């Protein structure tokens, strides 16, 4: 079996027309895990806590203190969202590091792969020498140039079928190593930002983007709009890039030297998982804070005058 | 978008998934735990306050205890002192009374003795008169006649009686 690297998550099933990818499956597992752990921790709440309750209390209480240092008085409003962002991303990152994720899977015949190519989801199998992260060149045929790969997809399918080749599709893939997931989180975060802004400041919040007071503020408003849209992209790609890069690094290392050597990198990825969860949730909190305190200086000045 | 594997339905599904887990965690995890933490915080504050109050009350109680104890000790000492004094007084009174009683007894004894003496004296003098009469009768019977005897005896008896009365008056 060759080294398996795919930028996109692979489709493993279809549910009422919706493609189910391996990342989506892992997302569901992460959700179930979080819910089960929460239920276990808070099933029997007592004034003198048991072990599970104590751990849950330290985590939730610690997060609350941590985020309240950034959010200040708005913490009550933000906490459920940012804490969920943190916990969900953290667990998703760590579940992606479990043994079996990315290695347990099944093989697909060429015919199946042709279907997959027709869909946006792709299955890729690459030779170690030509490990490529290109959807349009899932199979690197000897002597084939990368530019030609896209055009020769159909021919390649036939070729593979003729040779009776099989493609490996992992059953699980880190939930956050899929842009659908990270983009969804980024959208939630940026939309929540606007929601918090409007909820706290009312119509006044709109002046953050559309402001005719003076030309400078008008320009600033357009910049704010652009920055908020770019936040979606930066959130999504930061998380995806970090986790996907870690997966690739571990996969390559495991492929080259399967024993001992990947361990330090595995620890590093554990750390990266925490850092990325923290970065995502902290940045969200900071942005929420900016949104709800928009125009505070002006108000203060007006009150002062 | 195809290259990155972005699929609108999957994206939507993931957004919904996240919102679901957000709501579930809010209900299952954050709310009960934060409520519990808040409750415990309040309870601990109350406990600490109560401890301080109790300590204060204990201090007060101790003070009043000591005060009461001191007062009781003083009272006891005073009572003992008083009792001693009273005992001494009673003793003195008793002694005085005993003296008085003794004197009274002695006086009565003396008076009784005097009376007895006087009674004895009177009895003796009476007996002496009778004896003298008898003796005179006998002597005169042999010497004089009955008439003269009677006159003489009557004279002597008168003398003796007046003497006896004088003697009685003297002793009284």
Residue A15 has pLDDT above 50, yes or no: yes
Distance, CA of A92 to chain centre: 8
Q: Which pair of structure tokens corresponds to residue B162?
A: 């007046």
**Least confident window among A101-115, A144-158, A222-236:** A144-158
A151-197 tens-digit pLDDT:
444 444 444 444 456 778 888 888 888 888 899 999 999 999 999 98
- Which residue would you say has higher pLDDT here, B20 or A132? B20
What was the pLDDT predicted at A159?
42
**Is the per-residue pLDDT at A239 higher than 50?**
yes
Cβ contacts of B20 on chain A, cutoff 8 Å:
31
* Cα A88 to Cα B93: distance, rounded to the nearest angstrom: 103
The chain-wide mean pLDDT, for chain A, equals 78
**Cβ pair A2, A60 in contact under 8 A:** no
Tell me how far the alpha carbon of residue A167 is from its chain's centroid. 26
What pLDDT shows up at residue B50?
94
CA-wise closest residue to A182 among B57, B6, B75:
B6
* pLDDT value at residue B140: 72
Mean pLDDT of each 10-residue bin along chain B, 172 residues long: 75 88 88 88 93 95 94 95 95 94 94 93 91 84 73 84 79 72
Identify the closest residue of chain A to B23 by CA–CA distance. A80
Of A12-26, A81-95, A154-168, A289-303, the poorest mean pLDDT is in A154-168
A60:B5 CB<8 A:
no
| Digit-coded pLDDT (tens) for B120-161 | 999 999 999 999 988 888 887 777 677 777 787 888 888 888
Contact residues on chain A for B6, CB-CB shorter than 8 A: 120, 179-180, 183
- Chain A nearest C-alpha distance from B21 (Å): 6
| Measured distance CA(B33)–CA(B28) in Å, rounded | 9
Across the interface, whether the CB atoms of A45 and B4 are under 8 A apart is answered no
Given this model, what pLDDT does residue A302 score? 61
Residue B161's pLDDT is what? 83
Using the Cβ of B44 and the Cβ atoms of chain A, whether some distance falls under 8 Å is answered with no
Does the distance separating the beta carbons of B2 and A120 come in below 8 Å?
yes
Contact B97, B103 (CB under 8 A): no
**pLDDT tier at A104, thresholds 50, 70, 90:** confident
Residue A238 pLDDT greater than 70, yes or no = yes
Q: Does B107 touch chain A (CB under 8 A)?
A: no
Upper half-sphere CA count for residue A13 (Cβ side, 13 Å): 11
Q: How far is B41 from chain A (nearest CA, A)?
A: 10
Of the two residues B156 and A114, the one the predictor is more confident about is B156
Determine the residue among A24, A40, A42, A176 to mutate to test chain B binding: the one whose Cβ has the most chain B Cβ atoms within 10 Å. A42
With beta carbons less than 8 A apart as the criterion, state whether A169 and A107 touch.
yes
Q: Are A110 and A2 spatial neighbours (Cβ–Cβ below 8 Å)?
A: no
Which pLDDT score, from 0 to 100, does residue A118 have?
A: 40
pLDDT at position A128 is 39
A-B CB pairs within 8 A amount to: 127
Environment class of A141 (CB within 10 Å of its CB; exposed 0-12, middle 13-18, buried 19+): middle
Would the pLDDT of A218 be above 50? yes
Q: What is the 3-state secondary structure (H, E, C) of chain A?
A: CCCCCCCCCCEEEEECCEEEEHHHHHHHHHHHHHHHHHHHHHCCCCCCCCHHHHHHHHHHHHHHHHHHHHHHHHHHHHHHHHHHHHHHHHHHHHHCCCCCCCCCEEEEEHHHHHHHHHCCCCCCECCHHHCCCCCCCCECCCCCCHHHHHHCHHHHHHHHHHHCCEEEEECCCCHHHCHHHHHHHHHHHHHHHHHHHHHHHHHHHHHHCCCCCCHHHHHHHHHHHHHHHHHHHHHHHHHHHHHHHHHHHHHHHHHHCCCCCHHHHHHHHHHHHHHHHHHHHHHHHHHHHHHHCCCHHHHHHHHHC
Higher pLDDT, A303 or B117: B117
Concatenating the DSSP letter of every residue in B13-24 gives HHHHHHHHHHHH
Residue of B nearest to A82 (CA): B22
Of A296, A292, A295, A297, residue with least CA distance to A78: A292
pLDDT at A112 over 90: no
Q: Measured between CA atoms, how close is B16 to chain A, in angstroms? A: 9
Q: Check whether A91 has a pLDDT greater than 90.
A: yes
| Residues A156-166 pLDDT 10s | 444 444 445 67
Q: What pLDDT, on the 0 to 100 scale, is given for residue A258? A: 80
Q: Which of A7, A31, A49 sits opposite B21 (nearest CB)?
A: A31
CA A219 to chain centre: 32
What interface predicted TM-score (ipTM) does this complex get? 0.73
Residue among A282, A293, A285, A286 at smallest CA distance from A208: A293
Domain boundaries, chain A: 27-98+175-304, 105-170
Whole-number pLDDT of residue A109: 66
**Set of chain A residues whose Cβ sits within 8 Å of the Cβ of B30:** 60, 79-80, 83
As a whole-number percent, the residues of chain A with pLDDT over 70 amount to 77
Q: Which chain A residues are Cβ-neighbours of B14 within 8 angstroms?
A: 24, 27, 180-181, 183-185
> Cα dist. A98→A27, A153, A247, B10, B54 in Å?
14, 33, 11, 23, 55
| Interface touch B7/A47, C-beta < 8 Å | no
Chain B hits for A135, Cβ within 8 Å? 2-3, 5
Contact A179 B40 (CB under 8 A): no
Taking alpha carbons only, the member of A27, A6, A5, A21 closest to residue A171 is: A21
Structure confidence at residue B49 (pLDDT): 94
Residue of A nearest to B16 (CA): A184
Give the residue on A whose Cα is nearest the Cα of B4: A8
For residue B2, CA distances in Å to A124, A169, A242, B54 come to 14, 18, 20, 72
β partners of residue B63: none
In whole angstroms, what is the distance from residue A31 CA to residue B71 CA? Answer: 74
Give the phi and the psi of residue A57 in degrees, each rounded to 5.
-65, -40
Cβ-contact B29, A56 below 8 angstroms: yes
B70 in A contact zone (CB under 8 Å): no
Residue in B3, B10, B32 closest to A7 by CB: B3
B34–A contact, CB cutoff 8 A? yes
């Amino acid at each position: 079996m060759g080294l398996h690297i795919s930028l996109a998550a692979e489709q493993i099933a279809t549910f009422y027309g919706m493609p189910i990818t391996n990342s989506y499956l892992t997302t569901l597992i992460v959700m179930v895990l979080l819910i089960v752990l929460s239920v276990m921790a808070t099933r029997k709440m007592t004034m003198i806590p048991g072990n599970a309750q104590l751990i849950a209390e330290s985590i939730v209480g610690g997060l609350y203190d941590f985020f309240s240092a950034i959010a200040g008085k708005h913490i009550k409003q933000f906490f459920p969202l940012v804490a969920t962002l943190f916990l969900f991303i953290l667990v998703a990152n760590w579940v992606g590091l479990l043994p079996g994720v990315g290695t347990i899977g099944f093989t697909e015949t060429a015919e199946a792969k042709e279907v997959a190519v027709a869909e946006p989801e792709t299955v890729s199998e690459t030779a170690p020498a030509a490990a490529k992260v290109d959807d349009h060149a899932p199979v690197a045929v000897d002597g084939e140039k990368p530019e030609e790969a896209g055009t020769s997809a159909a021919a390649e399918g036939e070729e593979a079928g003729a040779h009776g080749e099989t493609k490996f599709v992992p059953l699980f893939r880190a939930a956050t190593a899929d842009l659908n997931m990270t983009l969804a989180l980024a959208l939630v975060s940026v939309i929540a930002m606007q929601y918090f802004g409007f909820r706290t400041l009312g119509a006044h919040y709109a002046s953050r983007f559309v402001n005719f007071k003076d030309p400078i503020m008008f320009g600033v408003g357009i910049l704010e709009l652009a920055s908020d849209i770019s936040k979606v992209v930066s959130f999504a790609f930061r998380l995806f890039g970090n986790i996907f890069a870690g997966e690739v690094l571990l996969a390559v290392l495991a492929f080259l030297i399967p024993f001992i050597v990947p361990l330090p990198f595995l620890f590093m990825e554990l750390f990266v998982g925490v850092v990325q969860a923290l970065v995502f949730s902290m940045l969200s909190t900071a942005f929420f804070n900016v949104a709800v305190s928009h125009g505070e200086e002006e108000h203060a000045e007006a009150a002062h005058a | 978008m195809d290259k990155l594997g972005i699929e609108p339905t999957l994206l939507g599904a993931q957004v919904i998934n996240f919102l679901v887990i957000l709501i579930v965690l809010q209900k299952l995890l954050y709310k009960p735990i934060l409520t519990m933490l808040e409750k415990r915080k309040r309870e601990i504050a109350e406990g600490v306050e109560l401890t301080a109050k109790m300590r204060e009350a204990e201090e007060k109680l101790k003070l009043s205890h000591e005060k009461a104890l001191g007062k009781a000790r003083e009272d006891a000492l005073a009572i003992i002192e008083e009792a001693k004094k009273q005992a001494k007084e009673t003793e003195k009174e008793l002694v005085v009374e005993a003296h008085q009683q003794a004197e009274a007894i002695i006086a009565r004894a003396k008076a009784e003795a005097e009376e007895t003496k006087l009674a004895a004296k009177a009895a003796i003098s009476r007996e002496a008169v009778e004896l003298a009469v008898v003796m005179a009768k006998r002597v005169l019977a042999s010497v004089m006649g009955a008439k003269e005897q009677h006159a003489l005896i009557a004279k002597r008896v008168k003398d003796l009686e007046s003497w006896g009365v004088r003697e009685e008056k003297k002793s009284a």
